[in-house]
Each structure stands twice: as C-alpha cells, then as structure tokens.
Structure 1
C-alpha cells in the first residue's frame, strides 16, 4: 500500500508558479506517476480472486485474516532498510528493484498450494512494498523540489488509479473464468514492463538531499512522554484509517459472495467502489483541507464512512454494500497523509523521528486489523465483523483533536 508525505512547508511554502518545465523533468514526473500506478495495481490485481483462492485452499476466515496480517509484518521487518539502501544505491534504483520483487511475489500467491505459501507471498510482497513505498515517495519529493510547486498529491492519486484498474481487471478476469495463474502471469509481465519504463524516465544520479531517517539512525532524540503519546495517537488514527481500507478492500469480495451469493465480477466491485471513491477523495483532499482544516476534514470523512457502512450493514443489499464501501473509501482518503503531516510538524521533535514513530504504529495496526475481522467473521458472521469499520470511524473522530497544530514548547531541554 502508498504512505510517505512531504512536510507542509515543502508542499506550500516553496510552491509557486514555475516557467516552462524541462522535458527531462516532465519525463521524471511521468516515471514517478507510473511506478505509483504499478504499486497500486500490484496488490489490487488479485484481491477479486481471493474467494477462489480461499475455496481452493479450504481455509477459514481466521486463517485468511492471519495471512493478510502477515503482510504488514514484512513491511515492519524490511521497511527500515529503505534509507540506507537509498543512500547507497539511489532512490530510483531501489524503488524499481523492490517493486519488481513485490510484483513478482504475486506468482507465489497465485500458485500457492497451501496457506503457508500464502503467508510467504504476503510477507514478501509487503516487505518489498515497504521499501518501494519509501523510495518512490522520496524520489517523488525530489522531482517536486525541482518543479518548485506542489505535484505530490497527484502521485498518490495515481496509486489509487492503479488500485482501481488492478481491481477492475481482476474482477473482469474472474468474470471471464480466467485461471488465476494465467491472469497473474499476464499481470506481472505488464507490470514489470511498466517498472522498466518508469526507471528509465526517473531522475538518474545522486539524490543530493539527505535521506529522511538518517537523523533517527545516528542522532539522539529525547521525547517528552506527552509528545510521544501524541505521536502514538496519530499513528493509531492512521492505523484505523488504513484498517478501514484493508478491511473494506480485502474482505469486501468475501462479504459480497457470502452475504448475497454475488457473481465473481459483482463481488469484486466492492473493492473497486472503495478505491474509486478513495481516489476522488485524494484528488479533492487538498481543497477540503484548505477550506476546512485538518481536523474538520478528518471528522467529516469519518462521518461519511460511519453513515455509509451503518447503512450497508443495517440494510444489507448489494447496492447498499457498494455505497458503504464507496463511502469508506472517500471518508478515509486524506486521513493517513494528514496524520503524517501532523506528526512531521510536531514542535520539539527532531526531523524524521515523528514520522518514524507514527508510521511504525500504523504498520502494527495494519497487522492486527485483518486478523480481528477474520476472527470475528468465524466467531459470529462477516457482516457483524464488518461493524469494526464504523466503530473505527468513531474512534477516529475521538482522536481527531490530535491533528490540531501545537505551539512550540517555551523551553526545550538540551543535552
């Protein structure tokens, strides 16, 4: 899944109308857009085929939820390597090679003969995805600095477009009764060609600027307990938002199949609805933040998510389910970036430390969320298990005051 964000100062303070953009820089922007697209499409392409894989392997919802939860553990384990790898091999190379490895792991998932191989595939896919995520975001920020105006949100918008396209094509393949391995071979082949094209267009040479996270690795950072609590709270907010996305995307095909006996194509549309509206939310998010501010944007997003999923679960029909998943996607669209911005701008926190703590908490949440839904789905029903989504929206509203700007401390301890 795409998670890095630039600081507000980079996004707005240095943004201004630039003159004619050199062709090389335009190509670099296209290269970054393309790798974001590939990153979004990779995971999404097989989500609509999950019911078939589960049926083939004869696994329970609990085991499948555990398999989905294994993925973020891979991200936690390998994600810390992104900064040193970029320092040595440059962000362009790291992003491309890690994405090739992540996309290639789809083959392991498609051919899995047991749930253990699903664990391996999910771990590998997410581990390499975490490295790609950091390095492609870093390269995108490098391109933005050269553009001298804000273009960063467009990258994340194209991640969502990639997820929508991947999910839709997966649904279409399922509807056409294409074998899962056949679909995967075609998908991986196309994605790898896109990665090579992206690599060729991105900026070569030194990244020049210091890789984010260096200060964390080499310097000392003493945080007040209250500051640490705020960072953990922001991470929890982001984890809940990401959990809603994971819960809606990963479990919507199974919910549509179990609850309504939907065809494979219709079952995949729940995921597509979520990603389409998340894309719209990200493309319009900057305007909403400018008008409403961080807190009200997140609160209104949580309200939309709560109302949509409450309707979907209270009045279960295929149409209300699609409305609920779509409302969830739009509602959570800006939450993770807003949490990252707030963490990065927290006064008295050394550069990179706030983001490191907050995103680590998010990834821990990503591990737990699918497991909880899977366990509840086995214990009661998947419909009742999805109540976790509106309940998470309520918790997000409770945590939203943490997004408010905080004044700098009057006196900072040194030493």
Structure 2
C-alpha cells in the first residue's frame, strides 16, 4: 500500500471526530436535556396553577403553537446571520426558561412562559439542524443521525434525573441545577460550533430567505410529517394500546416506548456510518421497510411480547428516517439551509403535535391496533417518494 493510500484510509478516521462535530452535538444534547427535564415537572406545574387535565392539554398545545410560530422565524434569521449565531443566541434565552416555569404562579404568566419555552425549543431545533447540515458539508460526511442520538440522550438524562432531583431537592433547586448544567453545555459549545455566517452578498436581495415557492421543500415536509406521525403515535398511545388491548400490566406497558427508544438511540449512533456506506436513498428505503414491518407487527400482535418486539423494530426503522429528511431539507438547491429546514421541521413537528388528538378520536371507533396498521401505510408513501432523499447526499458525496 502506497503512502497516499495510507493517508486516504487514515483521513476518514481522523476527520470523524472534530471540534465542530462536538460543538453541534452539545447543542442537540442541551436541547434534548431541557425537554427531558421539563417532562417530570409537568404534574407539579399543573397542580401549582390549579389546571384540570383539559386545561393542561391546552397549555401543552400552547407549547406546540409557540414552536410552530417560531420555527419559520428562526429559518429566516439563519439565512441572514448563519446557524451558529442563531443557535447560540436562542440557546442563551432558552437556558433560564425552566426557572421561569418553576416560579410562575398565575395562569396568564404560565401561558406566556410555556409559549416562550416551546418557541425557543422549536427555533433552536431549526438552527441546530441547520448547523448540523453545515457541519456535514464541512466534514464531507453524514453526522445528522448521531446529532439526533445526542438529542435522545439529552432527553433521557433530563427525564431520568428530573423526578429524582425534584423529590430529593425540590422544584426550584431542580430548575437551578438544570439551568447551570444547560449553561455549562453552551459554554463548552460556544467556541467550537462551526461558524457559518453567510456571504455578505448571498442574501442581500432576500430571495433565498423568503418562504419557498418551489414544491420541493413542501414535498420533503410531507415525508417528515409521515415519518413523525408514527413516532408521535408510539409516544402517546403505545402504553395505552399495550394496557387496554393486549392486557399488559402498567409496568409492562412502559416497555412499549422503552423498546422503541432504546433501539432508536442505538441505531441513530450507527446511522451515519450506514448512510455514508449506502447513501441516503437506500438507507431511507431500508429503514422505511423495517419501520413498516414494525408497525404491522404492533397492529397484528397477538400478545405483549410480539408487540414489544414490534415497537423495537419500529424504533430501528424510524430512527434514521427523520435525520435523512432533515439533511435533504438543508441541502435543497438555490435555497438557504435554514429556510428549507424551517418548512420541513414545522411540517414534521406539527404531525407529532396534532396527530395524537386525531388518533384518539379515530381510535374510539376503530381501536389502536387498526391505527398502527394504518400508520404503516404512511410509510409506504414515504418509500414511493424516497428518491427525494438524494439531496441529503449533497452534504458529503
């Protein structure tokens, strides 16, 4: 083997972990950590404000509305200032939000706080995904799946430690600890996040930062929507399906989402290597096929063991579909990354936010088994238009 061959073989290994990659991974970890830390606070927040279940549902809807309103705004700002500047700016404002949610004592101030929290989470989501796309271009390799794995890991850390810290230290000390840890992550990420300020002339006419007229980002947004609705359905309805329709115990029913989350996190860490090897389109098709098999297994499961296997299989399949779609959205020709991403993330997350209530209404008449079977049909549509994922390979091929 010649020296140049050795250098070629060594270069991918040397370039696999860079400071820019660590920086964007920290942004994803921090965002997931904030969401995870919020989850165990929800019951205390509801009781402090005297909210009924219906009112709490409306509060959580306000969180979603905040996200959907702020995502396109973040997209337009990324086109003007670059994703690194917008990510860091939003992260600074996001850091103290759990403190605000912990001290608010009135419903009106709770509405404002949860709207801002949801808005900043959503805006940061667009910005950090845009930075992951820029980092993929810089490194000439896929990193989006592992970034989403760090988001899942952050959520897991925030959620698993939150309940214990609230019980052990109290509501306000928990919020202070979360704020300090989140601030530390931002400090560590601050200097190493890839700086991607746009060229001064690139956006002066504003055409690249307006809402796109091209159908391409909207079509990719539909793919994101159809990939994320099954994820939302498993999150919100998986345990109920296990308990009500398969007779699982409360403890066993929790394994539905646990099995799904575990395989999803593992596959997200492996997903970039698979995508580098096979390309985005083939990876999306394989993942889609596995996810269809998983959802069909859930819907047809005769017992809890088969159902849990179905949830785990669905996690393997769904894990890398959204990261690929987000990479494609950030690489559309003639379009600023933040603009394409804001369209696709808004459409995708609206599926997680709006679908559960629709599923609840339909499930009253059909049962949840039929719902999971029907959701596999959404992914058949994704397979039919999977060729659109080729834009994701623009980052590194």
TM-score calculated relative to the size of structure 2: 0.72
Q: 1:183 aligns with which of 174, 189, 192?
A: 174
* CA-CA distance at 1:138 after TM superposition: 3.0
**C-alpha deviation, 1:239, in angstroms:** 1.7
Give secondary structure in 2 for the equivalent of 1:201.
coil
CA separation of 1:325 and 1:191: change in aligned 2, threshold 3 A: farther
Contact 1:74 1:123 in 2 (8 A): yes
Aligned to 2:267: 281
Instruction: State which of 39, 42, 51 in structure 1 corresponds to 2:34.
Output: 42
Partner of 1:106: 98
**1:286-323 superposed Cα distances (whole Å, 9 cap, x missing partner):** 45552844334212223213424654xx64x6x77765
In structure 2, relative to structure 1, the CA distance for the partners of 1:178 and 1:331 (3 Å cut) is: farther
Unmatched tracts of structure 1, length 5 or more: 1-14, 408-415
Alignment of 1:258-269 (within 5 A): 262=250
Q: Deviations over 1:60-104 (max 9, x none)?
A: 3x5544433333322231222324534665533321231233343
Deviation at 1:261, TM superposition (A): 7.7
How many Å separate the matches in 2 of 1:288 and 1:274?
19
Change in 2 beyond 3 A, CA 1:199/1:340: closer
Q: Say whether residues 1:132 and 2:104 are aligned partners.
A: no
SS in 1 for 2:18: helix
Quick check: 1:168 aligned with 2:168? Answer: no
Judge conservation of contact 1:253–1:271 (CA < 8 Å) in 2.
yes
Asked whether the equivalents of residues 63 and 118 of structure 2 are also in contact (C-alpha less than 8 Å), the reply is: yes
Contact 1:112 1:118 in 2 (8 A): yes
1:195 to 1:370, Cα distance in 2 relative to 1, 3 A: farther
Residue 132 of structure 1 deviates from its aligned partner by: 1.5
Matched, 1:301 2:291: yes
Aligned length: 371
The Cα shift of 1:283 comes to 2.5
* Counterpart-to-counterpart distance in 1, 2:369 and 2:47: 21
Q: Distance in 1 between matches of 2:155 and 2:224?
A: 19
Q: Report if aligned partners of 2:65, 2:115 keep a CA contact under 8 Å in 1.
A: yes
Partners of 1:95 and 1:136 within 8 A in 2: yes
Conserved 8 A contact 1:38-1:162: yes
TM-score, normalised with respect to structure 1: 0.69
Alignment of 1:47-66 (within 5 A): 47-50=39-42, 57-60=50-53, 63-66=55-58
**Equivalent residue, structure 2, for 1:351:** 335
**Equivalent-residue separation in structure 2 for 1:27 and 1:342 (angstroms):** 23
User: Aligned runs of 1:116-265 on 2, under 5 Å?
Assistant: 119-170=111-162, 172-173=164-165, 179-203=170-194, 206=197, 208=199, 215-217=207-209, 223=214, 228=215, 232=218, 234-249=220-235, 262=250
**How far apart in 1 are the matches of 2:111 and 2:241?**
22
Q: In the alignment, which of 374, 377, 382 is matched to residue 394 of structure 1?
A: 377
Alpha-carbon displacement from aligned partner over 1:158-216 (angstroms, at most 9, x marks no partner):
22221222232235447x566444433322221122112211332458455958x9544
Name the Cα RMSD after superposition. Answer: 4.5
Task: Name the stretch that deviates more: 355-364 or 28-37.
Answer: 355-364
Report how far residue 37 of structure 1 moved: 0.7
1:85 maps to 2:77: yes
Note closer, same or farther for the CA distance 1:107–1:344 as it changes in structure 2 (3 Å cut): closer
Compared CA separation, residues 32 and 52, structure 1 to 2 (3 A)? same
CA distance in 1, matches of 2:227, 2:126: 19
